[in-house]
Amino acid sequence: MSAFGRSETADDLLAALLDGMDAALCAFDSDGVITHWNREAERILGWSAAEAVGRKGFAGWAVRAADAQDVQDRLMAAQDVPGRQVHEFALVTKDGGRVLVRTQSAGVPGAGGKPAGVYCAFSEVHAQIDLERSIALSEALMEDASWGVVLVDVDLRPAVVNAHAARAFGTGRTALLGRPLGELLTQGVEELEGALQHVLAEGAPPAPVELWVSVRTAEGVRRRCWRCGFLRLASPLAEEPVPLGVGWLFQDVSEARQAQLDTAQLRFRAHQLHRAGRVAADCEDPAEAAAVRLDFALAGFAEHALLDVLDRSADPERRRLVRSAASPPVLPGPGSIPVRYEAGHPVFQALDRIGSVRSSAPRGEADEEWARARQWPEGAVHALCTVLRSRGRTVGALTFLRGASRAAFERVDAEYAEEVAARIAADLDLAGAASGSGRPGAGRAGPTGGPG
């Protein structure tokens, strides 16, 4: 290829690059004559490259006469100082209007390092301000936001994480990048991934979504409620929207939601106690009233409830418990066979403490074996035993059992169980007094169950 051909190809390539830029660009030689003018400059000011190239400066056509010398001096000064110079000028469009532009100019070195001219990139100030606002917003979200911000790629892995989100996950920002969400969350990951997939496929939901998750941290697993908003991210450079991932913003609302749940739970349990009292008042047999209270207490609280009473007719040196009722019924039959609890059983611990005892199956031990060893129904994983007391005497014990689908009993659960136990103990004491025996409810079958 000839030298002329190489030069022509290079000029064509340079023209294509200049015309493809999103910013307006012009260039001046060392005398201030315009040598380059791209299409974006033509769009902003209306002057074509044929009309602009070859002119000396902007005087007489793209700037007011009063401003021409100042604009020319400030632009050409860029070839004498290192780095870029930023200025704002009011330029004149071809149709006579004025537009405020922000320019970035820098010198072009020639042979031997001598100044050969200046290039100047410019854009409308409002467009530049919009860009700067977008950049500032992105930086603020990634650094100073009071809520978590995570940019998730199309593989549903964190690509960018701000400081707040890193604290919410209990780890460093870089430690989260590229990791599957399943490694970060022990519960709630299916719901979160489902929401992200929906956003990628259908777009952002119309309202925030609240998700309960369990976060795996160095201190252990933490249960949190996050109010989440999602935005689908698409590339602005593609002809058709190409998903880049999802912008996920979240706030921790665990305390507020837990307070609401606790209030609703307290209201429900108080309502259950009230309903149980109304129904028990219509029972002629106090032992039947105790069984009624047992059924009402079970709703939303546990899977099983066992009511055991002390047999005072037996050897006083040896405590013997007899199953009075169970909800739901375990085995039908007379309530006169002692329950075979071994020494150290949580029920005996509750009797010794005159209080409540909570117990859960240890990890790695089969639920059936743990429950069977304690004479509890199959599937029991969590237990709460509390003592029955009436008129200063121990009447028996009440046991609530939960399966693996429920959380372990907490202190607030023990308080509710103790309230139920106080009312059942009064019923059993009344039943014992009515029967004239030393054991409450003696001489009759359990209303809802038999021996364990």
C-beta atoms surrounding 39 within 10 Å: 16
Instruction: Give the per-residue pLDDT at 250.
Output: 94
Tell me what percent of the residues of the chain surpass a pLDDT of 90.
35
Residue with tokens 């467009």: 127
Mean pLDDT, the chain, whole residue set? 84
Q: Give how far the C-alpha of residue 154 lies from the chain's centroid of Cα atoms, to the nearest Å.
A: 19
The answer to whether 38 and 21 are in contact (CB under 8 A) is yes
Structural contact between residues 26 and 40, judged by C-beta atoms closer than 8 angstroms: no
| pLDDT exceeds 90 at position 418 | yes
* Of residues 219 and 10, more confidently modeled: 219
Top pLDDT among 91 and 319 is at: 91
Beta bridge partners of residue 359, listed in sequence order: 383
- Rounded mean pLDDT, 207-215: 92
**Contact call for residues 162 and 140 (beta carbons, < 8 A):** no
305 — pLDDT class (breaks 50, 70, 90) = very high
Least confident of 85-99, 134-148, 203-217: 134-148
For residues 38 and 45, give the distance between their C-alpha atoms in angstroms, rounded to a whole number.
11
Which percentage of the chain shows pLDDT scores above 70? 87
**Each residue's pLDDT tens digit, 266-275:** 999 999 999 9
- Distance (Å, whole) CA 181 – CA 178: 9
pLDDT at 329 over 50: yes
pLDDT digits (tens, 9 = 90+) for 219-247: 788 899 999 999 998 876 666 667 789 99
Q: Tell me, what's the pLDDT at 217? A: 82
DSSP state at residue 185: E
pLDDT in tens, 13-45: 766 777 667 788 999 998 889 998 998 899 989
Three-state secondary-structure class, residue 265: helix
Mean local confidence (pLDDT), 318-332: 78
Place of tokens 């000064």: 77
The arithmetic mean of pLDDT across residues 388-396, rounded, is 91
Lowest mean pLDDT of 63-72, 124-133, 140-149, 294-303, name the range: 124-133
SS3 203: coil
pLDDT number for residue 84: 85
Question: The dihedral of CA 176, 182, 188, 190: what is its sign?
Answer: positive
What is the reported pTM? 0.58
Range 87-100 average pLDDT:
89
Binning pLDDT at 50, 70 and 90, where does residue 333 land?
A: very low
The pair of structure tokens assigned to 116 is 């050969």
Which residue in 169, 172, 192 sits closest to 248, CA to CA?
192
Given its phi and psi angles, is residue 354 left (phi above 0), alpha (psi -120 to 50 degrees) or beta? left
pLDDT at 384 over 90: yes
Q: What pLDDT shows up at residue 20? A: 65
Q: What is the pLDDT of residue 2?
A: 39
* Backbone angles phi and psi of 409, in degrees to 5: -65, 140
Residues 6 or more apart in contact with residue 126 via CB below 8 angstroms: none
Mean pLDDT, rounded, for 93-120: 86
Residue 429 has a pLDDT of 86
- Which whole-number Å values give the CA distances from 40 to 21, 26, 96, 122, 141, in the listed order? 7, 10, 18, 9, 31
Identify the CA nearest to 386 among candidates 362, 413, 408. 413
Copy the structure tokens of residue 36: 């380059």
